[in-house]
Structures are given as C-alpha cells and as structure tokens.
Amino acid sequence: MKKLVKNLVIYSVLILISLEILVRIFYLGEDKPSRFVDEKRVEKWVPNQNGYNVTGNRNQNFIRYNINSSGFNSYQEYVPTDDGVEVALVGDSFIEGFHQPYRVSIGRKVENKLHDEVKVFEYGYSGYDMADQLHLINAYKEDFDLIDRIYIKVKFNNDLNRGEYFVQTSRLNLESPLNKLLKKSKLLVYFSEIGVLDPVRDLMKDVKNLAKGGVSEKTETEESETDQQQLDSTYLANFKSLVSLYGFDKKKTVLLIDVSETSTVFLDYLNANGFQYLDFGNAINNSKRRTTLVYDMHWNNYGRTLVADIIKNDLVTSGLAKNPETE
C-alpha cells in the first residue's frame, strides 16, 4: 500500500509539472491582466501591461491585448483635447474587446470609416455596469468634458442592478495574494477557463447552500423571474438614481442598447425624458452572417463592423463627422 501511495503521489506531481510545461509551451492558458482601484475609486486594469487572451481548449482564439496608461485595452493613449472630434465608448467586455485584435476594435473601425477625422477612446472593462460607467464618467469629468460624444453600452436586464456605485469586492478578490499566486500557474488558469474546476465550484456552492439551510440559488432566480414588472421598475429606479447621483449629459451621451431585449417601460422613459439611444440589436440579430465568435458570445469581426457602422452613422447624422461616402 505504501508503494501505491508513493507512486501515486510521484506520478501525480510529475504529470502536473509536465502539464504545466505543456500548457506554457502551447500557450493554452491566458494571461490574466492585473486590476486595481485608482485614486478616484475607479476599477480598471493596471496601466501599461500586455499579454494574450486565449479562448477554447485548443487555443482556438488567441488575441494580444494592450492596456494603455489610462488602464484600458487600446492601441492608443487617451488624451482628450479641445481640438478635433473625440468620442468615448464606455461599456463592458464587448467594448473592452479582449476577444479581438485591439488594432481592429470597434473604435478603430469607426476611426477608419471616418478617415481618422475622429478619435475614439474605448473605456471598456469586463463586468462594468451602469453604475461603473456613470461613476467613471463623473470621476474623470475633466476628460469627458473635452469629449464630444459619449456612447454607453447598456443591457437593461444586467446593468441596472444597483442604484449607487461602490467598489465591487468580488472582482477585486481576484487580486488577492492567494489568487495572484494561483494565477502564476498557467495550468490552473487553463483548468478554470475550460471548466474543469466548475464541478468543484458547484459542489462547494452546494455545500455552502446546505450549510445555510438548503436554499439553492436556483430557487431564488426562479422566484425573481416570476415578477418581471417589479424588476423592471427596480431597474428604472436604479437608472434614475444613478443619473441623479453622477449626472448625465443628455446632449452628447447616447445609450447603445438592444431594443429587442429592453423593457418597454425603460424605452418609454428614455423617449419621454429626452435620453438618446441607438439600437444595435436590429443589425446584429437580423444579420444573415454570424455576428458572434465561435467560442463565446462576444461580437466577431463582422459584428463589430455592424456596431461601428451604427456609431459612424450617428456621428455623421449628429454633424460631428462628414459622411465619408459623399466626400
């Protein structure tokens, strides 16, 4: 029996070391950039870092990212000025664009379509909701005052869960010393990405729920889904609260939304109160070509082109840019 235990331990350790080496050789585990909260209590990526975002078990999506000195993924630095036309794109992972080459991001596509007449600064960060976004704009008011137009990507059902900004500790826990140590193992990062650790996490959740008295999260979700109207009014109330707390320049700020997934209560409110919005859902959902990536739900190159077209058209309509086709 001793021999069995000894050999099991030796083989397991050696196999794990070999796997770590193989994962590194084939670059299967993604580089996880570090995040932090800056002096203005804005959560963002630690400036000036780069690496590779990897999706899929077999390295199916392999993209380099570049965090600029402002803490966002972009090919350029964000220095708003009084001159020229500057545009801000604020949003979550769809705007952050770790799943796409940063040189052909939505912002860069808009710039190309308008022959570099405008500069587009992309303030994208995975998990940003409306509170994060409005707090960011408010915290960097001097910069955003210089920007001519601001687009905020919002998903009504996801991004209005809170009526006030506070730092999300759950995301920052990923920067705990233990997690930082774990991130050093590419094998663990790979395990986590491909879902090998999901059953362990599920089991731990189940154990926790059992310890709490057997209330599963599923039940809570099922219950909450039964009263959509109440949820809609909560989201709307949160929106009003955020606007009153952090401000909202209706003249130059435009919400980017998928109308087909947005409550009519919210749309009616926006229309009645002079909030501008653009619908990207129509173009994305009715496209004959695939608009999302193969391995996850983020927009692929074509999806990004469609969204860039919508923004470009809006900039032309609003008079901030000339129509490149009529030039």
Residues in contact with another protein by the rule CB under 8 A: 1, 3-4, 7-8, 11, 14-15, 18-19, 22, 56-58, 60, 190-191, 194-196, 198-200, 203, 294-295
Q: Is the dihedral of CA 193, 127, 74, 72 positive or negative?
A: negative
Beta-carbon neighbour count of residue 149 at 10 Å?
23
Judge whether 130 and 238 are in contact, CB under 8 Å: yes
- Cβ nearer to another protein, comparing 79 with 196: 196
DSSP 13-52: HHHHHHHHHHHHHTT-SPP---EEE-TTS-EEEPSS-EEE
Closest approach of Cβ 203 to another protein, in Å? 6
Closest approach of Cβ 306 to another protein, in Å? 19
Closest approach of Cβ 30 to another protein, in Å? 14
- Cβ nearer to another protein, comparing 15 with 79: 15
Measuring CA to CA, which residue among 34, 59, 29 is closest to residue 45?
A: 34
- Cβ nearer to another protein, comparing 9 with 237: 9
- Cβ nearer to another protein, comparing 57 with 224: 57
Q: Residue ranges of the alpha helices (H) in the chain?
A: 2-25, 93-96, 106-113, 130-139, 141-146, 156-159, 169-172, 177-183, 186-194, 198-212, 217-225, 228-246, 264-272, 281-285, 301-317
Judge whether 65 and 102 are in contact, CB under 8 Å: yes
- Cβ nearer to another protein, comparing 99 with 113: 99
Closest approach of Cβ 49 to another protein, in Å? 27
Measuring CA to CA, which residue among 245, 244, 242, 233 is closest to residue 269?
A: 233
Q: If you search the block for the tokens 């030039």, which residue do you land on?
A: 327
- Cβ nearer to another protein, comparing 251 with 288: 288
What distance in Å separates the CA atoms of residue 293 and residue 295, rounded to the nearest whole number?
6
Closest approach of Cβ 173 to another protein, in Å? 22
Closest approach of Cβ 297 to another protein, in Å? 13
Closest approach of Cβ 38 to another protein, in Å? 35
67 beta partners: 73
- Cβ nearer to another protein, comparing 60 with 317: 60
